[in-house]
Amino acid sequence: MTDLIARVRDVLPAVRADLEDLVRIESVWADPARRDEVRRSAQAVSKLLSEAGFDDVRIVAEGGAPAVIARHPAPPGAPTVLLYAHHDVQPEGDARQWHSPPFEPTERDGRLYGRGTADDKAGIATHLAAFRAHGGNPPVGVTVFVEGEEESGSPSLARLLAAHRDLLAADVIVIADSDNWSTETPSLTVSLRGLADCVVEVATLDHGLHSGMWGGVVPDALTVLVRLLASLHDDDGNVAVAGLHQATAADVDYPPERVRTDTGLLDGVDEIGSGTVAQRLWAKPSITVIGIDTTSVAQSSNTLIPRARAKISMRVAPGGDAGEHLAALTRHLEQHTPWGAQLTVTPGDLGEPYAIDASGPVYDAARESFRQAWGHEPVDTGVGGSIPFIAEFARAFPEAKILVTGVEDPDTQAHSINESLHLGVLERAATAEALLLARLGGANGSTAL
């Protein structure tokens, strides 16, 4: 086992160089102009996995983004472990606000900055490092699955799974796409929220009107939309939509002062919602307005706006059903549209939440691997974000044990400007994964399965 720890350290510089090459590819699937980049990214991932020693590597797609499946067959009697990550990334946002170019990996103070350095190209790097540390011949079967449209809600994942079910079947599924408690203490993620989103459009007129001639008698669509969006929360910022599910949060003391340090909430700005931080983040639904289309201030004139739309993103607490939540939101919108305005709700992505009972020998092996790699026990936490892959694969392989790990930390700023990976976290996460593969393969006399 100590040998393995040293071997991870040995392979890490090359893995980091490979990670940097991946970050240079602008694999933003949500941007139609960069879909070739996503294809290039799948090819790069596939090449890295082939070179690492996987003998069956393929790029697959079912009408959506290309994913990569690589297989190392299980030695007789050994279990198969599926290692998950995604190679698509979020759009970079305003490039001028980055301190270094978003797609040029740059190290500062032990962190590697760049879009996807953490979410989730570091997940790919973790799997590569663990596999290479085993000299390309771990004592378990290993299937790597790297999807290319996670950040777009994984719309073709169900079809990929149906088409390649036999290739993807596994006893243990390790997801490297989540957060850690800190750069020194790992998390074992035991619950994730789901997601349901939609675009809501309101119309009051079929053309704009002079706002002086008709203002005060005829409603404008933007005022309608703003009132409708305001109805989604009560005055304390709790979600005001009826019929949504609430769960119980993992038993973790989340220090309230961490909210300010981790988010950069501006002076004087209140938190919203009631309940502990952990409850609100992990076990209650939330609703956010993530975009709006209307006349810009620069283009505004004294005109009543005839139609306006917004995208609403809702998080679903573990145990809830994403489709039912979208239906509840739609009903709320229908019932709260003021002044008889015309309403259209266009459903968007659905991703189911997931909760894990992290007990039993596989989780014991994971905790022991974490303890050895990080020097600390992992904290069982929930996360507020979503990974639709998990519920989808849990349904397909109900016997599989699912382990949600990751390489993010509280300073990662995933999805935002200046995303970064803590290089120490990458080493510890890769070490823990390499040790876990050894344990699942029966090292140290352990019989995890």
88 catalytically annotated: yes
We find the least distance from the C-beta atom of residue 276 to Mn ion, in angstroms, to be 25
Give which of 404, 391, 403, 406 is closest to 360, Cα–Cα: 403
- Annotated catalytic residue: which of 88, 151, 368, 409? 88
Do 116 and 419 meet the contact criterion of CB atoms below 8 Å apart? yes
Spell out, one character per residue from 352 to 391, where the chain touches ligand BES: x when CB under 6 A holds, - when not: -------------------------------x-xxxx---
> Which residue pairs, CB below 8 angstroms and at least 24 apart, start in 229-237?
229/289, 229/310, 229/312, 231/332, 231/336, 232/287, 232/289, 232/312, 232/332, 233/272, 233/287, 236/272, 236/273, 236/274, 237/270, 237/271, 237/272, 237/273
Q: Which residue is nearest to Mn ion (CB)?
A: 120
E runs forming strands in 128-224: 141-147, 172-176, 187-192, 194-203, 209-210
* 184 is a catalytic site residue: no
Residue 177 binds Mn ion, judged by CB under 5 A: yes
Kindly state the DSSP code that residue 266 receives in the 8-state scheme.
P
Among residues 26, 37, 88, 119, the one that binds Mn ion under rule CB under 5 A? 119
Q: Which of 133, 157, 195, 305 binds ligand BES (CB under 6 A)?
A: 195
| 156 in contact with ligand BES (CB under 6 A) | no
Residues 200 and 225 sit within 8 Å (Cβ to Cβ)? yes
Q: What are the φ/ψ torsions at residue 310 (nearest 5 degrees)?
A: -145, 155
- The one-letter code for the residue type at 221 is A
* CB-based contact 11:5 (threshold 8 Å): no
| Per-residue x/- track, 387-406, ligand BES (CB under 6 A) | xx------------------
Are the beta carbons of 148 and 154 closer than 8 angstroms?
A: no
Closer Cβ to ligand BES, 120 or 368, answer by number: 120
Instruction: Dihedral sign for Cα 56, 76, 85, 387, please.
Output: positive
In terms of CB distance, is 201 or 262 closer to Mn ion? 262
Contacting residue, 20, 147, 149, 151, with ligand BES by CB under 6 A = 151
In the complex, what is the shortest distance from the CB of residue 372 to ligand BES, in angstroms, rounded to a whole number? Answer: 23
Q: Binding partner of residue 306 among Mn ion, ligand BES, none, CB under 5 to 8 Å per kind?
A: none
Nearest residue to 257 (alpha-carbon basis) of 406, 378, 410, 111: 410
Position among 102, 351, 353, 378 found at the interface with ligand BES (CB under 6 A): 351
Residues 110-149 that bind ligand BES (CB under 6 A): 119-120
Annotated catalytic residue, options 92, 120, 150, 433: 150
Interface pattern 174-193 for ligand BES (x via CB under 6 A)? ---xxx--------------
User: What does the DSSP assignment read for 318-345?
Assistant: TT--HHHHHHHHHHHHHHH-GGG-EEEE
Q: Please, what is the angle between helix 423-440 and helix 361-374, to 10°?
A: 140
Beta strands at 401-405 and 172-176: parallel, antiparallel or unpaired: parallel
Nearer to ligand BES, 194 or 441 (CB): 194
Among 18, 88, 120, 352, binds Mn ion (CB under 5 A): 120
The interface mask with ligand BES, positions 97-116, x = CB under 6 A, is --------------------
d(CA 198, CA 313) in angstroms, rounded, equals 7
- Structure token digits, residue 141: 């079967």
**Taking CB under 6 A as the rule, which mask of x and - marks residues 37-76 in contact with ligand BES?**
----------------------------------------
Residue 409 touching Mn ion (CB under 5 A): no
Binding site for ligand BES (CB under 6 A): 119-120, 150-151, 153, 177-179, 195, 349, 351, 383, 385-388
Binding site for Mn ion (CB under 5 A): 119-120, 177
Q: Catalytic site residues?
A: 88, 150
